[in-house]
Amino acid sequence: MKTLRLILGDQLNSQHSWYHSNDENITYCMFEMRQETDYVTHHIQKVAGFFAAMRNFAKELKANQHRIIYWKLNDESNTQSLTENISTLIDKDNFEKFEYQAPDEYRLDHQLKEFSKKLNIENKVFPTEHFYTERNELSTFFKGKKQFLMESFYRNMRKKHQLLMIDQQPEGGKWNYDASNRKKWKGETLIPTAKNFDNDVSQIVAEIEDAGVKTVGKINAKYFEYPISRKQALEQLTYFCDHLLVHFGDYQDAMHTNQIFLFHSKISFAMNSKMISPKEIVDETLQTYRKRTNEIDISQVEGFIRQIIGWREYMRGMYWMLMPNYKKENFLNNKNKLPDFFWTGKTKMNCLKNVINNSLDNGYAHHIQRLMITGNFALLTQIDPAEIDAWYLGIYVDAIEWVQLPNTRGMSQFADGGKIATKPYVSSGSYISKMSNYCDSCSYKKTKKYGDDACPFNSLYWNFLEEKESQLSSNFRMRMMYSLLNKMPIEERTKIKEKANHIIKNLDAY
C-alpha cells in the first residue's frame, strides 16, 4: 500500500523502528513551515538549529535508501501549513495510507487528530519510541492521589528501571543527593572548555531572513555550537561524561558572570529533538560512573540522572495529564506585562542582565537561572503567566511546549496552585547571592529592602507574600516566612510595599 509518513521537526530519531527496513511503497515527508516559526517569536538559534538538524536527518534517511520529500521554508510547493502540505502530497501522488508518530505537543497532536478524522484514506499513529514512560503513564501512577509529587514518581522510575539500585534500595543509601548539589562555583574547580561544533548554518539563516520570519537573539551563523546530527549528539554526550560529569552534581545549581554552561551537558536540544534518547544518555552516564567510581561521586551521577528520568519524564507526564486546560491556569491571578528588558537585556539588575543576555546570545540558560532569576522575578512582579510562557517557549533552543509549559506555568509561576510545585519558587536577593557572584558587581545592595540602591528582589519578595497571603498562607512550606512577615514592624512593611509598588509600575527603569 502506497504510504506517506510524516516526520516532525522534533522527531529526529534515526533508531526508530520505522527505519529498520526499506519499503519502496513508503515515502517520508518533512516540512519547514511558517506555522511553526510564527506561533511564538523564537530565538534565531532555535529556528536555525531545528532546520539544520531536520536537513541532516533527511540526508541521513536518503543515504540509507529511504524515500524522502523535504520542503524547505522557501519551497514553492510549501503552503506553510502542516495539514495543507500533507493534503497536497496525498492528492498529488495518490497515497493510500497516511502514518505519523504521536506529537509530544498538544497543539500538533490535536491538529493531526482532527485532520486524520477527515481523511478518506487509511491512517495510523505510532509511538515515538523515545521516552522511558508512555504518554499517559502519570495519569495511572497518580490516580486517586491528592498530590502529584515528583519524588515519588522518581523513586518508582529508579525501581522500575533498576537505575542506581541494589535490589529495592537506592545505591549509596539515599534516593536523592539534592542537598549535595548546591555548591557555589568560585573558580576553584577548573571547567573544561565547552565543546562546540562550529556548524555553518549561514545559508539557513539567510533563508529565514529572506522569508521575513521574526526572531529574537543573536547568532554566529558560521559557528553554530549545538549538535545538529546524531553523530554530534553522541560526541557531546561522550564529552560530558569524560570531562564534566565528575563535577556536575556539585555545581548544577551554581551561576557565575564569567561562565555560560559551567558543568552542564549542552545536550538538551539534541535530546528534545530526539537525535539521542534519554536511555542512551543514562546508560553512558552509568557506564562512565562504573569505570570511575573512585573518581566520580554518586552525588554527581544521581543529580544528572534525576533530571533525565525524574524531572524530564515527570514534566511530560504532567503535561499530558493536565492539558488542555493547564495552559489557562492562573491561580495567583497575575496580570502584569512582561518588561521590555526581557527582550533586550537592558537592566541594572546584574543577575537578570547576565541571564537574559546569555539567553539572547546563546539561546540557553540552565534550570536555576530559569527558575530562580528570570522566573523568580516574573512571579514576584506578578507577570501574566501567558506572557512568561511565550518568552520561555521562544527564547530557548531546547524549548518545546511539553517541557516548557509545566516548568513555567507550574514550577516557576505557581499558576497551577501547586499541582507541580509544593510551594512558589520565590526568593529575596540572599538566595541569588548564595548561588552566584551576580550580586558582587550589581548596582543594587543585596542586603537592603528599600531605598534607591536596595535590591529589587528584597522588597518584591516580602510584597509578594503580603499580596498573595490569602492564596498562600495555608501552605505548610510557607508558614515560617509568613510568621516572619507578620512579626515585621508595620512601618517597615509600609516602606517595603511602597518600594515594591514603584518597581512594579516602573519595571524598565530598574
Per-residue pLDDT tens over the stretch 135-183: 999 999 999 998 999 999 999 999 999 999 998 999 999 999 988 888 9
Average pLDDT along the chain: 96
Percent of the chain with pLDDT over 90: 96
Cα 9 to Cα 55: distance, rounded to the nearest angstrom: 10
Looking at the predicted structure, is the pLDDT value of residue 48 above 90?
yes
227-230-236-237 Cα dihedral, nearest 10 degrees: 140
CATH of the domain at 380: 1.10.579.10
> Measured between alpha carbons, how far is 55 from 77 in angstroms, rounded to an integer?
17
Domain co-membership, 292 together with 393: no
pLDDT tens for residues 476-501? 999 999 999 999 999 999 999 999 99
Q: State the total domains in the chain.
A: 3
In-domain check, residue 298: yes
Query: What per-residue confidence (pLDDT) applies to 416?
Result: 96
Statement to judge: residues 181 and 277 lie in one domain: yes
DSSP 337: P
Which of 319, 328, 218, 203 has the alpha carbon at shortest distance from 272? 319
Q: Is residue 371 part of a domain?
A: yes
Mean pLDDT value of segment 314-340: 97
Domain closes at, from 322, 352, 378:
322
Decide which of 322, 357, 372 is a domain's last residue.
Answer: 322
Asked whether residue 332 is assigned to any structural domain, the reply reads no
242 shares a domain with 378: no
Judgement on whether residues 301 and 438 belong to the same structural domain of the protein: no
Q: Do residue 379 and residue 470 come from a single domain?
A: yes
Would 452 be classed as within a structural domain? yes
Kindly state whether residues 41 and 89 are assigned to the same domain. Answer: yes
Residues 307 and 176 in one domain: yes
What is the rounded average pLDDT of the residues 13-21?
96
- 416 burial (CB, 10 Å; 0-12 / 13-18 / 19+) is buried
Grid coordinates belonging to 488: 515585621
Q: Which positions ≥6 away from 88 have C-beta within 8 Å?
A: 77, 79
Strands 26-31 and 67-71: parallel
Asked if 396 and 376 sit in the same domain, the reply is: yes
Q: How far apart are CA 405 and CA 396, in angstroms?
A: 13
Range 325-336 average pLDDT: 97
Whether 238 and 265 map to the same domain: the answer is yes
CB 384 within 8 A of CB 327: no
Rounded mean pLDDT of 13-41? 96
Helix, strand, coil proportions of the chain in percent (round to 5)?
Answer: 50, 10, 40
State the residue range of the domain holding 121. 3-126
Structure confidence at residue 179 (pLDDT)? 85
The last residue of one of the domains, among 89, 107, 126, is 126
What is the maximum alpha-carbon separation in the chain?
Answer: 79
- Tell me whether residue 131 is in a domain: no
pLDDT digits (tens, 9 = 90+) for 208-254: 999 999 999 999 999 999 999 999 999 999 999 999 999 999 999 99
Residue 132 counted as domain residue: no
The dihedral through the CA atoms of 167, 168, 171, 173 has a sign that is negative
What CATH number is attached to the domain comprising 91?
3.40.50.620
In a domain, 336, yes or no: no
Residue 328 lies in a domain: no
Q: Is the pLDDT of residue 263 over 90?
A: yes
Report the alpha-carbon distance of residue 107 to residue 401 in Å, rounded: 9
Q: What is the pLDDT of residue 336?
A: 98
Residues 371 and 398 in one domain: yes
Mean pLDDT calculated for residue range 322-343? 97
Distance of CA 333 to the CA centre of its chain: 24
Query: What DSSP line would sit under 84-100, residue for residue?
Result: HHHHHHHHHHT-SEEEE
Q: Taking residues 31-43, what's their average pLDDT?
A: 97
How buried is 291 (Cβ within 10 angstroms: 0-12 exposed, 13-18 middle, 19+ buried)?
exposed
- The answer to whether residue 100 scores a pLDDT higher than 90 is yes
302 plus 345 within the same structural domain: no
C-alpha cell at position 29: 515527508
Is residue 122 domain-shared with residue 142, that is, in the same domain?
Answer: no
Residues 366-390 pLDDT 10s: 999 999 999 999 999 999 999 999 9
In Å, what is the CA distance from 47 to each residue of 204, 465, 503? 9, 39, 34
Q: Does position 272 have pLDDT exceeding 90, yes or no? A: yes
Respond yes or no on whether the N-terminal peptide bond of residue 339 is cis (omega within 30° of 0): no
Q: Which helix (H) or strand (E) holds 378?
A: helix 375-380
